[in-house]
A and B are shown apart, each in its own frame.
Chain A
Amino acid sequence: MSKPKFKNPVVNWIDYRLPIFTFMNHELNEYPTPKNLNYFWNFGSLAGITLVIMIVTGIVLSMNYTAHIDYAFDSVERIMRDVNHGWLLRYIHMNGASFFFIVVYIHIFRGLYYGSYKAPREILWILGVLILLLMMATAFMGYVLPWGQMSFWGATVITNLFSAIPLVGESIVTWLWGGFSVDNPTLNRFFSLHFVLPFVIVGVVILHLVALHRFGSNNPIGIDVKGKQDTIPFHPYYTIKDLFGLSVFATVFAAAVFFFPNFMGHPDNYIPANPMVTPAHIVPEWYFLPFYAILRAIPDKLGGVLFMFGAIMVLFVLPWLDKSSVRSSQFRPLYKLFFWFLVIDCIALGYLGAMPAEGIYVVLSRLATAYYFFHFLIILPLLPKIESTRPLPVSISTPIITASSNASTVMAMREKK
């Protein structure tokens, strides 16, 4: 085992017994990465950094927060007014949640566009969807903690969804609440779970990275790395690119935190929770709006809940719904079209989720919901049967083959698949 790999003898001594430096060198330094990644591949690292920001600010906030219905609201205001730079910590944490979702949604749509969920990256994708689910649970419970009007009524509406479960629904809701309404026990357990779930997310993120490093990143043309000529070491090429991406992201994030900190929040959450007064419109945070629209689109309560969860569940089985062997939409003209339809559909659902559930909005929500599932359950499985994909390049290093170029190499590629 032999020749020292590192210049520093202490590092070598440790590495011989605990090969942590070899591991880091392998995974962060020489880790071979496709050389053609575009800026959409920045969003994975941005999500990871945002998670760290959320955990660090969250831990400091928790040192000043009181999880009790009589004190929670005022303890948050104490952070805003009396804790040194408490307003900065809270606004970073509060806006960080929104930015975490923005980053993760872009990350997910990047995966959809470039077919990053396809073999052999199915488990990588599934772990990602699991992270999304955990994020949603964490964000929901975090929103309850300031104990404002939207905190309280959002918690009431969402926990009540479980009462739709036949037979045991009501008992489950009572069990979730720790009582017969959203009250102090609910706030306490939400605080506890909001504290612990981010660390569960960290665990799943580590698995996500292990799965990623098994086959490496997908890339914009979606074909496998054919050899050394297709890759470059992660460091310094992608470390500097991620740093640049981070600095641009941080600029936008800072603009929100310092100049528009409450833009993505709801004014009602600056009114202390009052179980006797229901707000005119109970709206969840913006990142839940598409799911909220699906929930309200279904006229049946249980049906609505099932469809809402189904909207996420369908992502778990996505690798098996999309049967096309071509990953990137660059070579799938029809899929590309439907991808953008899906994006528009999701934005439409988000918009409809914010509108009152009445009149034309209900009809539109139903259409948009139907299209969401139609995309995943009907279009994706059928598409490969009718779609003629564009010729794939031979490798990442070979210039993209134009339509007029030699078709035989393309045929050879196809046969290999």
Chain B
Amino acid sequence: MRFSKSVLYFLILFNFFLSKLALSAGKAIEYPDKNWSFSSIFGTFDKASAQRGFQVYKEVCAGCHGMRLISYRNLAALGYNQDELKAIASQFEITDGPNDDGEFFTRPGRPSDKFASPYPNKKAAIAANGGAYPPDLSLIIKARPNGANYLHALLSGYVEPPKNMKVPEGMYYNKFYSGNLIAMPQPLYEDGIEYLDGTKASPDQMAIDVTTFLAWASEPELEERKQLGITVILFLIVFSILSYFSMRQIWAPIKNKN
């Protein structure tokens, strides 16, 4: 069984190699680790935080960033009831059509609508933002390495640039952005919005809340996935133990002969 031992070493090495790989994707900039409620294997979303995060998105981010994969009805997962969803959706104007006259028209949103886009199309978004496309936020947490920590850091990373650095017109200095120059101006300011639940809207609180909301938007299945995962793993562990002892019993005559 010497081979088994060597294989153990091999697996340890392999594991090291994989974790190394994961790190190499993360790059040099380190983001503060915020210990998100959703990151552990039993993790769930903090719904109150996600609801506040939706408010931050709606009142701050949505001016430039769309979330084309999310429907208003999906917000039910954050704890809104049907009437609230209808009320939320109806705040937005949705372009629909063509109608029987061949015309496009606007109407109030319905829960089944996808989030209203701030721009009619991608070109318009680029034109309105000086050539930089504000990325869609539906998947943003999954689309960045260490996404939740990255986004939180980015939103909190607007500091004075170093003295010798010239920040070009239309660009802003951010210590957590790759290359440090970002086309997005600082979005979150002290009391920039007024939270419906009365929570103090500090920039860090808003950054945490909107990150929680966007993490939910990226992985709406997360809670169901982790809960099902625990059941499945427990079942498989029991099944492994049972099959191990069945194997021992079946093999007993063969092993005893040797």
Contact = CB atoms under 8 A, between A and B. Distances in A.
Given A88-B225, A263-B22, A347-B14, A77 B139 contact: yes
Interface stretch (A162-170, A249-257, A302-310): A249-257
Contacts of A113: 3
B22 A267 contact: no
B232 A244 contact: no
B25 A247 contact: no
Interface string A245-275: 0011011001101110111101110110000
Contact of A286 (B21, B69, B225): B21
Contact of A240 (B17, B18, B21, B243): B243
Nearest to B27: A280
Interface string A337-351: 000100110010011
Contacts of B25: 266-267
A351 B20 CA distance: 8
A347 B20 CA distance: 12
Nearest to B41: A259
A265 B240 CA distance: 28
Category for how many chain B residues contact A = 35 or more
Contacts of A271: 135, 139, 143
Contact of A267 (B24, B144, B226, B229): B144
Nearest to A244: B243
Interface stretch (B87-95, B167-175, B247-255): B247-255
B226 A259 contact: yes
Contact of A35 (B135, B230, B246, B254): B254
A4 interface: no
A247 B21 contact: no
Given A77-B139, A81-B220, A340-B6, A286 B18 contact: yes
A329 B25 CA distance: 37
Contacts of B233: 251, 254-255, 258
A340 B9 CA distance: 11
Nearest to B43: A259
A332 to B, nearest CB: 13
A354 B26 CA distance: 12
B229 A257 contact: yes
Contacts of A123: none
Given A251-B233, A255-B233, A351 B21 contact: yes
Given A240-B247, A343-B10, A258 B232 contact: yes
A281 to B, nearest CB: 8
A contacts with B: majority SS: helix
Contacts of B226: 258-259
B197 interface: no
Instruction: Give the most central of B18, B218, B236, B246: most A CB within 10 Å.
Output: B236
A262 B142 contact: yes
B157 interface: no
Contacts of B4: 38-39
B247 A241 contact: yes
A54 to B, nearest CB: 18
Instruction: Give the most central of B41, B139, B220, B246: most A CB within 10 Å.
Output: B139
A354 B17 CA distance: 10
Interface in A327-369: 329-330, 340, 343-344, 347, 350-351, 354-355
Nearest to A241: B247
B76 interface: no
Nearest to B20: A351
B86 to A, nearest CB: 20
A80 interface: yes
Interface in B142-157: 142-145, 147
Contact of B24 (A232, A236, A257, A355): A355
Interface in A280-307: 280, 286
A87 interface: yes
A33 to B, nearest CB: 11
Given A254-B233, A255-B233, A247 B239 contact: yes
Nearest to A114: B3
Contacts of B29: none
Given A232-B254, A240-B250, A351-B17, A251 B220 contact: no
18 contacts: A38-B1, A81-B74, A81-B220, A220-B3, A240-B247, A240-B251, A248-B240, A254-B232, A258-B225, A258-B233, A259-B226, A262-B142, A267-B145, A270-B142, A343-B10, A347-B14, A351-B17, A354-B24
Interface of A: 35, 38-40, 74, 77, 80-81, 87-88, 91, 113, 220, 232, 236-237, 240-241, 243-244, 247-248, 250-251, 254-255, 257-259, 261-264, 266-268, 270-271, 280, 286, 329-330, 340, 343-344, 347, 350-351, 354-355
Interface of B: 1, 3-4, 6-7, 10, 13-14, 17-18, 20-22, 24-25, 41, 69, 74, 135, 138-139, 142-145, 147, 178, 218, 220-221, 225-226, 228-230, 232-233, 236-237, 239-240, 243-244, 246-247, 250-251, 254
Which A-B residue pairs are the 7 nearest by beta carbons? Answer: A258-B229, A270-B143, A247-B240, A251-B236, A87-B221, A244-B243, A270-B142
Given A243-B247, A244-B240, 6 more contacts: A38-B3, A87-B225, A254-B236, A259-B226, A264-B18, A270-B143
